[in-house]
């Protein structure tokens, strides 16, 4: 039996007609940039996540970069984050000229350890960027309390956690800004790159919208005033929608980006939004089945905090003998993934930050032990049974 880590073909098959029709409609409409589906998708995401603004962008990395810039963070600033994440988290901080300051993670939840944050705060610290790793919400109350005390912003990296909840609230709606990725293998993914920034702050939203499109037009002018503390009203134009024919398009106020979500991707995401609750529910159910059936093996299973509801973007276990499990599962046709083999503070590119082995003992420990097994919603009962059976056999 061959089981991939994520089966994108099975997912496509399950929505093929619906998805094909919607994508074809966009092709026929020829409204490829900022078309109706983009606007509608943003509204639907806003309602779903419980935020005032959901602003789609080109990918999750851009979402993080633009969010940091919109908060006015840049050269000389420090941003606290986790070393146990995908590189884009730290990269976005470095890209805008700030310095990522790593705080070790918790052994059981894989998320940033709030009890270790305060000792890393300096005069230069501007924000905390927790990651809801593998779909599991970080301890947001503790993080927000520290942020409030030290007047720091909170940027949630929710790239792996569309629909995850913390105390009944969707992640991405808890900090000052939330960032999502729609990379195809994320639990909500499109057919290419895509991303989104969420916030309930009108000013942040205005700056994000301006940066998304070359800092131009009405949003650009408003964003310029906001970032430079200029108190002057910006005249609202008659035609203030952001279409290709916007007459304000060629007036620029900021150095921004071209980072928009394609209309085709938005149309596809709107189709998938109809299934996301169901898919997330099945992911949780699959995780429960693994929890129950693998509890007597030598593997350490993932732990969810009581206040949280994970979407299990990945089901990540730990073993002293990871190599044996990964290799033998591969022989049996079962794909696994190692997340993450090198913690951020030990990445070559960050040599200049001066970290050494032993600085983040938990992240380092996990980086030698963790691997993900398939948990995607399209897994059949037969596949799940085969995965459980195989792990138990290897464990003998």
Ligand X SMILES: *Cc1c(COP(=O)(O)O)cnc(C)c1O
Quick one: residue 134, left, alpha or beta (phi over 0 = left, psi -120 to 50 = alpha)?
left
CB of 241 to ligand X, least distance (A): 26
Q: Does 6 bind ligand X (CB under 6 A)?
A: no
One of 173, 181, 198, 336 touching ligand X (CB under 6 A): 181
User: Closer to ligand X at the Cβ: 88 or 226?
Assistant: 88
Least distance (Å) between residue 280 CB and ligand X: 16
CB of 159 to ligand X, least distance (A): 3
Residue (60 or 172) nearer to ligand X, CB: 60
| Packing angle, helices 60-70 and 87-95, rounded to 10 | 40
Out of 106, 157, 165, 364, the only residue in the binding site for ligand X (CB under 6 A) is 157
CB of 340 to ligand X, least distance (A): 10
Q: Are 295 and 273 in contact (CB under 8 A)?
A: no
Q: Using CB positions, name the residue nearest to ligand X.
A: 60
Instruction: Kindly tell me which of 89 and 198 has the beta carbon lying closer to ligand X.
Output: 89
Q: Nearest approach, Cβ of 81 to ligand X (angstroms)?
A: 10
Instruction: List, in order, residues 6 or more apart from 331 with CB less than 8 Å away.
Output: none
C-beta of 386: minimal distance to ligand X in Å?
27
Could you say which residues in the range 69-98 bind ligand X, by CB under 6 A? 85-86, 88-89
297 secondary structure, DSSP code: S
Q: Which is nearer to ligand X, 82 or 173 (CB)?
A: 82
Closer to ligand X by Cβ: residue 18 or 95: 95
178 binds ligand X (CB under 6 A): no
Kindly state the number of chain residues that form the binding site for ligand X, as judged by CB under 6 A: 15
Instruction: Give phi and psi for 369, each to the nearest 5.
Output: -120, -25
- Residues in contact with 329: Cβ distance below 8 Å, sequence separation at least 6, in sequence order: 335, 336, 373, 390, 391, 394
Closest approach of ligand X to the CB of residue 266, in Å: 15
Among residues 137, 195, 256, 308, the one that binds ligand X under rule CB under 6 A = 195
Taking the least distance from each CB to ligand X, the nearer of 85 and 221 is 85
- Closer residue to ligand X in complex, CB, 183/290: 183
Binding part of the chain for ligand X, among 27-35, 96-104, 157-165, 232-240 by CB under 6 A, reads 157-165
Using the minimum distance from each CB to ligand X, give the nearer residue, 68 or 294: 68
61/71 Cα distance (integer angstroms): 16
Beta-carbon contacts of residue 291 (< 8 Å; ≥ 6 apart)? 301
DSSP alpha helix (H) spans, 154-294: 202-212, 217-227, 263-273, 276-294
With respect to ligand X, which residue has the nearer C-beta, 85 or 304?
Answer: 85
Q: Does 193 sit near ligand X (CB under 6 A)?
A: yes
Which position has the token pair 């949780």?
284
List binders of ligand X among 17-76 (CB under 6 A): 59-61
C-alpha 155/C-alpha 135 separation (Å) is 16
Q: By CB under 6 A, what part of segment 317-376 binds ligand X?
A: none
- Contact (Cβ atoms closer than 8 angstroms) between residue 271 and residue 356: no
Phi first, then psi: give them for residue 57, nearest 5 degrees: -140, 180
CB 224 to ligand X: min, Å: 27
Smallest gap from residue 220 Cβ to ligand X (A): 24
Kindly tell me which residue out of 159, 174, 207, 366 binds ligand X, with binding defined by CB under 6 A: 159
How is the chain split among helix, strand and coil, in percent rounded to 5? Answer: 45, 15, 40
Shortest distance (Å) from residue 122 CB to ligand X: 24
Residue that the structure tokens 């919607």 belong to = 22
* d(C-alpha 282, C-alpha 203), whole Å: 37
| Residue 239 CB neighbours (<10 A) | 10
- Going by C-alpha positions, the residue among 69, 118, 119, 116 that lies closest to residue 97 is 69
Residue tagged 């979407």 (tokens) = 311
Minimum Å gap between C-beta 187 and ligand X is 11
> For residues 113-132, which are near ligand X according to CB under 6 A?
131
Site residues for ligand X per CB under 6 A: 59-61, 85-86, 88-89, 131, 157, 159-160, 181, 183, 193, 195
């Amino acid at each position: 039996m061959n089981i991939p880590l994520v089966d994108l073909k099975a997912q496509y098959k399950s929505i093929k007609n619906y998805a094909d029709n919607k994508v074809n409609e966009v092709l026929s409409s020829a409204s490829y940039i900022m078309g109706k589906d983009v606007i509608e998708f943003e509204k639907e995401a806003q309602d779903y996540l419980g935020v005032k603004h959901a602003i789609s962008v080109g990918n999750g990395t851009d979402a993080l970069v633009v969010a940091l810039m919109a908060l006015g963070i840049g050269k000389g600033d420090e941003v606290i984050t986790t070393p146990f994440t995908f590189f884009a988290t730290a990269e976005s901080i470095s890209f805008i000229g700030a310095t990522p300051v790593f705080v070790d993670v918790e052994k059981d939840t894989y998320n940033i350890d709030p009890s270790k944050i305060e000792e890393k705060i300096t005069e230069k610290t501007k924000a905390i960027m927790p990651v809801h790793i593998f779909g599991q919400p970080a301890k947001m109350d503790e993080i927000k309390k520290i942020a409030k005390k030290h007047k720091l912003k909170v940027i949630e990296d929710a790239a792996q956690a569309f629909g995850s909840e913390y105390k009944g609230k969707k992640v991405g709606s808890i900090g000052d800004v939330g960032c999502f990725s729609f990379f195809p293998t994320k639990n909500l993914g499109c057919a290419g790159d895509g991303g989104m920034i969420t916030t309930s702050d009108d000013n942040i939203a205005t700056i994000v919208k301006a940066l998304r499109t070359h800092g131009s037009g009405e949003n650009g002018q408003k964003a310029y005033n906001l970032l430079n503390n200029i108190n002057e009203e910006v005249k609202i134009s008659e035609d203030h929608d952001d279409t290709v024919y916007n007459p304000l398009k060629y007036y620029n106020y900021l150095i921004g980006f071209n980072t928009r979500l394609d209309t085709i991707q938005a149309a596809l995401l709107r189709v998938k939004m109809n299934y996301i609750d169901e898919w997330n529910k099945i992911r949780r159910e699959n995780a429960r089945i693994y929890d129950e059936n693998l509890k007597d093996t030598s593997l350490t299973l993932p732990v969810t905090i009581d206040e949280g509801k994970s979407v299990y973007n990945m089901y990540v276990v730990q073993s002293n003998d990871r190599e044996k499990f990964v290799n033998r599962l591969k022989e049996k046709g079962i794909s696994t993934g190692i997340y993450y083999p090198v913690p951020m503070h030990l990445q070559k590119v960050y040599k200049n930050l001066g970290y050494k082995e032993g600085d983040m003992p938990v992240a380092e420990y996990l980086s030698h032990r963790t691997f993900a097994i398939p948990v995607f919603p399209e897994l059949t009962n037969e596949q799940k049974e085969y995965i459980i059976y195989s792990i138990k056999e290897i464990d003998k």
